[in-house]
Amino acid sequence: MIEVADRLHSVEEYYFSRKLKEVNLLIASGKPVINLGIGSPDLQPPQKVVEALTEGLLSPNAHKYQSYQGLPELRQAISGFYKTHYDVNLSPNTEVLPLMGSKEGIMHISMAYLNKGDEVLIPNPGYPTYQSVTKLMEAKPVFYELDAANNWQPDFEDLERLDLTKVKLMWVNYPHMPTGTQPSASLFEELVAFAKKHNILVINDNPYSFILNDNPASILNVEGAKDVCLELNSLSKTFNMAGWRVGMVVGDNKYINDILKVKSNMDSGMFYGIQKGAIEALKCSSMWFATLNNVYRERRDLVWKLAEALNCTYDENATGLFVWAKLPLHIKAEEYIDLILKEKSIFLTPGTIFGSQGEGYIRFSLCAQTEDLHEAIRRVSS
């Protein structure tokens, strides 16, 4: 047998890839499992988006290789979207790079800038891919702790006490996943100042701006942010297009060109029809967001009832596609979700998969029909 590369010894199979095998086996055996673990939107994209994809299939250009930088009109649509919703000016020709989902952007950015031994600031709790990709690059994760006492935002006094000489990148994610915390009025300004002081590239991973959130924000709205910041964004949650794999990285032309050097060696362009659909999505009116959030608001009310039935507490001001709930004292997250899965056939996410600061918390997804949520409440209440 051929030995795997040393880098694979530093990471494990993604939690949901592993856990869903167990859940699917239970379903196959006849268990009526309600899945509240995954943030995969179950709603449909806008109809005009599907129509644009369908029409794109018939284009003479549909089956050819596409530009590594995406269609010019897609970059223009991304630029217009950022101006309309974030009041951020972006050049569609030099400051926008479409991606096959923002997750690939985490890898591309890391490959563009990290050498073996470089260090990366990673939120705890935070999206597990930040850590795994850092390890795959043979760089060192340096965790900065977030907690409820500080509203799940960085403590800059603690950050300043660290040895930052080897830190090259810093991952931030606001609105925050998994907690749903919005950035404070000053957070992005503090991050930009911190990045400039220590010559660190800060990347805000921003796919949850429009879910149950009336105040979408971009770190690039801060003066001087383009000097030291990038932003990732995605159509997955905003337009129910998770399986389409459409995202973007935006920022200064120098950074975009660096990332393009990696990306252009990794794929051969995004499928034409998907790009045409994405263009239509980015042009959606505010009515789309209002309609989408009416559905999620109804579901969230039910998830809050479910959390209460499990004796959990939660923050009603949190936003996004999940409810982050605190367990009663002395209950371990992973043991608890395994118990609920076994006894109630409900799959939840333990907070510990997002880091040690997630111990004592569980996460509920809003990507489930109201009928399933009512049934989940019935199960735990009986």
What tokens were used for 98?
A: 């479409």
- What's the pLDDT tens digit per position in 337-357? 999 999 999 999 999 999 999
User: What is the Cα–Cα distance from 360 to 365, expressed in whole angstroms?
Assistant: 17
Phi, psi of 168 (to 5 degrees): -110, -35
pLDDT score of 170 more than 80: yes
Mean pLDDT of the chain: 94
pLDDT score of 11 more than 80: no
Instruction: Give the per-residue pLDDT at 19.
Output: 76
Instruction: Give the per-residue pLDDT at 22.
Output: 80
Q: Tell me, rounded to whole angstroms, the distance of Cα 225 from its chain centroid.
A: 21
User: What is the Cα–Cα distance from 54 to 274, expressed in whole angstroms?
Assistant: 9
Section 306-319 average pLDDT: 95
Residues 6+ apart with CB under 8 A from 216: 85, 86, 209, 210
- What's the pLDDT tens digit per position in 234-291? 999 999 999 989 999 999 999 999 999 999 998 888 999 999 999 999 999 999 999 9
Q: Cβ(247)–Cβ(233) under 8 Å?
A: yes
pLDDT score of 203 more than 80: yes
Sign of CA dihedral 261, 263, 266, 269: negative
382 — pLDDT class (breaks 50, 70, 90): confident
3-state secondary structure 172-232: ECCCCCCCCCCCCCCHHHHHHHHHHHHCCEEEEECCCCCCCCCCCCCHHHCCCHHHCEEEE
Instruction: Give the per-residue pLDDT at 301.
Output: 97
Could you tell me which of 308, 320, 65 has the C-alpha nearest to residue 179? 320
pLDDT score of 318 more than 90: yes
Q: Cβ(48)–Cβ(356) under 8 Å?
A: no
Instruction: Give the per-residue pLDDT at 26.
Output: 84
pLDDT score of 18 more than 80: no
- What's the pLDDT tens digit per position in 176-197? 999 999 999 899 999 999 999 9
What tokens were used for 352?
A: 């510990």
Instruction: Give the per-residue pLDDT at 271.
Output: 93
3-state helix, strand, coil in the chain (%, to 5): 45, 15, 40
Phi, psi of 153 (to 5 degrees): -125, 155
Instruction: Give the per-residue pLDDT at 30.
Output: 86
19-23, 103-107, 144-148, 202-206, range with the lowest pLDDT: 19-23
Question: pTM of the entire structure?
Answer: 0.93
Section 117-130 average pLDDT: 96
Which of helix, strand or coil describes residue 98?
strand
Section 49-61 average pLDDT: 92
Instruction: Give the per-residue pLDDT at 217.
Output: 95
Instruction: Give the per-residue pLDDT at 185.
Output: 84
Instruction: Give the per-residue pLDDT at 304.
Output: 98
Section 74-101 average pLDDT: 96
Q: How many CB atoms lie within 10 A of CB 38?
A: 17
Instruction: Give the per-residue pLDDT at 23.
Output: 81
pLDDT score of 42 more than 80: yes
pLDDT score of 27 more than 90: no
- What share of the chain has pLDDT > 70, as a percent? 99
